A and B are shown apart, each in its own frame.
Chain A
């Protein structure tokens, strides 16, 4: 795909101000009123999706009662979160996130290096397999691991007892280790995806020249490769750390039963698991975690300022591939092992669980299809499937459309207000799903009567759009950056109007990125639990919520059935994405 036309540097210098006076800036020069209206509408939409819930969060944290009830403004909420117990929660949150980030990063670097820079066999396939866990909703693996590593009836411990003949268990998932272990499974493929292209795109001549200067392979790796990768590693570390603080599922499944609390589960508990929900406490805590996230994001920005990620030169070259000899089968085995642990084991457990009458009793006479029958006869299940599909399709489309418009305005135009909408779209990046959920809870409750969003499927849709927008803007920004201005301008000069150019050139060229982003967003919605669990009500459950309810009722067998279905869906979608979209892109 040769969409990027590299201009010589001197010419870029010459035409740099051109970007300022891009043809499209003037597209509406005759109709700047329409442009103004368009921008206003966009700002209103984004404001409703991001600023409004944030403001309601602040209101909730300062107001003594839930919306609609008489109350007073006070600081009780903030006072109530200043406890020693919450210091432990904070330490847990930060500690767990750090503890999962470091091993995840190490393994992800190793995997990225194997796939991008060694001659390990079947690297292409391995790459697909390694990244698959990223697309599996964490709730599924959490449930699967809850069954696999249950201290009493988990398969791993049963096998262990059978092997050793003892009665003690090998692993207990309900522990710090369990929480971290589960987070790692999600972090590693995420970090891998984030870094692998940097590894692949590194100019080999940088390393080769080090070797020519007399440095050994190991010295070269330490002094050149690793240092060149440092900016990518740093940003990966920060990203993973921030994501770790937002994580909800792992701590919910494995932390809470063991009494390990993190901030997200604490917010959840204060609303869902108390006799009377303590909303002021929850909103104050939400605001506090936003503050923490804000500091982290500032820190990340500060650490990465001025750092160049330019190991990519854009020239066509093959990355130098290290020949490992017989060791290549070891690296191959490592990748396969990773895939086995993160995908095959959980899927295997779900299958096992779905075919036996009771979870934990795996004997021949317990085999049954009863759970499948029950699930398929369950109207709540079908409703959840329908809800999830509708939300996924609508949500992904709306999110990407919004992202495409915001990215276009902030990248390709010089319209006034473009920085504002860009920042507004980015705001949810700092809000964990749980926090945004609480914010929307308030936001919908405060809406005037004739707009009954609260308790409907639309409540979830709006939350998903808000959560997905930062990613969709990112994806589309990247896509637009790759399209040279010439492609648009050329169309204008040859007689096409702005609208015609948008449709025939920009949409036509950016749609593969749109599709990739769409699938990512769709997966994101399918995976979403933390906001859904606060915003759903009877009739608007998603699959993740239904799973959660079944799990809470101890119905691990039906959980397995539904989990398997979702797994299947993920694999089909991923396959379609890889084979169809990739093929389209390479044709370009």
Chain B
């Protein structure tokens, strides 16, 4: 397994910049996900690593070998990069059986038949598809096709495994299960994997590190929890779920002993403490992010958190696993995810509270 390095990688389509100066180092055996909305350049980035697109700027290296260097006009075609790839459509060749599909990378490399047989069956066993080896591939369900695609991508023990939204064509239940299975497999085989998705839940559940992209640029790289809890800016914060983003002004800023700084902030009709990554001057405008699931609804006047807002319930929706409660406060309407057991009446005055760890401030 090899690392992947992208240095100042760009891709222009005429005057349009699809990928803009991306720098990324994927360690050997690491699972990195490129996450972002449609058109953010994540698929183009993946395809440049695959050699299906040529980067118009920068350098790409797989392991110690440079595979593309636009300045020197050096480009290794896809087939010589020793990669495995799972396509969004799976790209299972309909004129071949499951076995033939998986055997393809080996047969292309003229491996002896016995070796082909062993390795294909091993790969199929990994994805629990060995009993389907002789099936014609169009006779497979979506989930089975996906397993075959993974087996085919792994059979040659590639340097890096590339995955382009492999789960997006599956239904919700299967998606979660396949995702978990795949993560377990990846950790067992210690494969370097580069994964593209627009599904934040998927990205968080699978990856060692998540790369959030927008408009061809990387916004933030970090472990899923890091990115979810401590986004670097408002865009990243807004990308995951539907957080409450409140405008506030810094009153005080001090180190909290650890990596972060503790801020005292004041907003419209509320004030309290929160954390931030960098030191901020007094009077700076910040955005405070509080996730709905970290907010609690209390009876009016009852304050036992570090941050609190008073307001009245404007809407309550039962969603099965939880209850979405909208609380109208002087600052703005806050979205609270409360336990589905607790019911609140609309119009009731309440206090919404959050612990200091749950509030994260970013510079505007």
Which chain A residues have a beta carbon within 8 Å of chain B's beta carbons? 1-3, 5-8, 10-11, 13-15, 17-18, 20-21, 23, 26-27, 29, 484, 486-487, 489-497, 500, 504-505, 508-509, 587-588
Contacts and interface: CB of A to CB of B under 8 A. Distances in A.
Contact of B165 (A11, A29, A497): A11
Given A496-B79, A496-B104, A2 B94 contact: yes
Nearest to B138: A2
B136 interface: yes
Interface of B: 13, 16, 18, 38-39, 43-44, 47, 50-54, 75, 77-85, 87-91, 93-95, 104-105, 108-109, 136, 138, 152-153, 156, 162, 165, 168
Given A1-B94, A2-B94, A489-B91, A494 B54 contact: no
Contact of A493 (B18, B51, B136): B51
A13 B38 CA distance: 8
A20 B56 CA distance: 14
A491 B104 contact: yes
A11 B13 CA distance: 17
Nearest to A587: B136
B79 A497 contact: yes
Given A21-B54, A23-B78, A495 B108 contact: yes
Contacts of B95: 508-509, 588
Contacts of A18: 44, 47, 52-53
Contacts of B80: 495
B104 A484 contact: no
A588 B138 contact: yes
Contacts of A7: 88-89
A14 B78 contact: no
Contacts of A587: 136
Q: Which of A5, A493, A587, A588 has the most CB of B within 10 A?
A: A493
Contacts of A21: 13, 52-54
Contacts of A495: 79-80, 82, 105, 108-109, 156
Contacts of A484: 89, 91
Contacts of A588: 94-95, 138
A12 B70 CA distance: 26
A15 B43 contact: yes
A500 B108 CA distance: 8
A1 B138 contact: yes
23 contacts: A10-B39, A11-B38, A11-B43, A15-B43, A17-B18, A18-B44, A20-B13, A23-B78, A484-B89, A486-B91, A489-B52, A492-B52, A493-B85, A494-B105, A494-B152, A494-B153, A495-B79, A504-B104, A508-B93, A509-B95, A587-B136, A588-B94, A588-B138
A494 B106 CA distance: 9
Contacts of B16: 17
Nearest to A25: B54
A7 B84 CA distance: 21
Given A10-B38, A14-B39, A18-B47, A492 B78 contact: yes
B33 to A, nearest CB: 16
Contact of B79 (A8, A486, A493, A509): A493
Contacts of A17: 13, 16, 18, 44
A489 B81 CA distance: 13
Contacts of A8: 168
Contacts of A491: 93, 104
Contacts of B89: 5-7, 484, 486
A29 B68 CA distance: 13
Contacts of B84: 493-494
A495 B159 CA distance: 12
Given A486-B87, A487-B91, A588-B138, 18 more contacts: A1-B138, A11-B38, A14-B39, A14-B44, A20-B13, A21-B52, A21-B54, A23-B51, A23-B52, A23-B77, A490-B87, A492-B51, A493-B81, A494-B79, A494-B105, A496-B79, A505-B93, A509-B95
A27 B153 CA distance: 22
Contacts of A10: 38-39
B47 A3 contact: no
A493 B78 contact: yes
Lowest 8 A-B CB distances belong to which pairs? A5-B89, A486-B91, A490-B91, A10-B38, A494-B105, A492-B78, A17-B13, A493-B85
B152 to A, nearest CB: 7
Contacts of A490: 85, 87, 91, 93
A114 to B, nearest CB: 31
A54 B116 CA distance: 56
A449 B54 CA distance: 50
A97 B102 CA distance: 56
Contacts of A496: 79, 104, 108
Nearest to B140: A2
Contacts of A15: 43-44, 47
B323 to A, nearest CB: 31
Nearest to B16: A17
A10 B91 CA distance: 19
Contacts of A509: 93-95
Given A17-B13, A494-B108, A487 B93 contact: yes
A27 B267 CA distance: 59
A587 B97 CA distance: 11
A573 B147 CA distance: 42
A491 B95 CA distance: 13
Contacts of A492: 51-52, 77-79
Contacts of B13: 17, 20-21
Nearest to A500: B108
A19 to B, nearest CB: 11
A44 B117 CA distance: 47
A500 B38 CA distance: 33
A487 B138 CA distance: 13
Nearest to B18: A17
A29 B77 CA distance: 9
Given A587-B136, A588-B138, A493 B94 contact: no
Contacts of B108: 494-496, 500
A499 to B, nearest CB: 11
Contacts of B109: 495
A504 B105 CA distance: 12
Contacts of B165: 11
A398 B95 CA distance: 25
A412 to B, nearest CB: 14
Given A494-B156, A509-B94, A486 B88 contact: yes
Contacts of B81: 493
Contacts of A508: 93, 95
A541 to B, nearest CB: 41
Contacts of A2: 94, 138
Contacts of B94: 1-3, 509, 588
Given A8-B168, A17-B18, A20-B13, A493 B39 contact: no
A496 B144 CA distance: 24
A49 B84 CA distance: 45
A489 B87 contact: yes
A17 to B, nearest CB: 4
B267 to A, nearest CB: 36
Interface centre among B13, B77, B162 (most CB of A within 10 A): B77
A508 B104 CA distance: 14
A6 to B, nearest CB: 8
Contacts of B18: 17
Contacts of B91: 5, 484, 486-487, 489-490
Contacts of A486: 87-91
Nearest to A510: B95
Contacts of A497: 77, 79
Contacts of A20: 13
Contacts of B39: 10, 13-14
A486 B52 CA distance: 10
B175 to A, nearest CB: 14
Contacts of A1: 94, 138
A29 B78 CA distance: 13
A504 B81 CA distance: 20
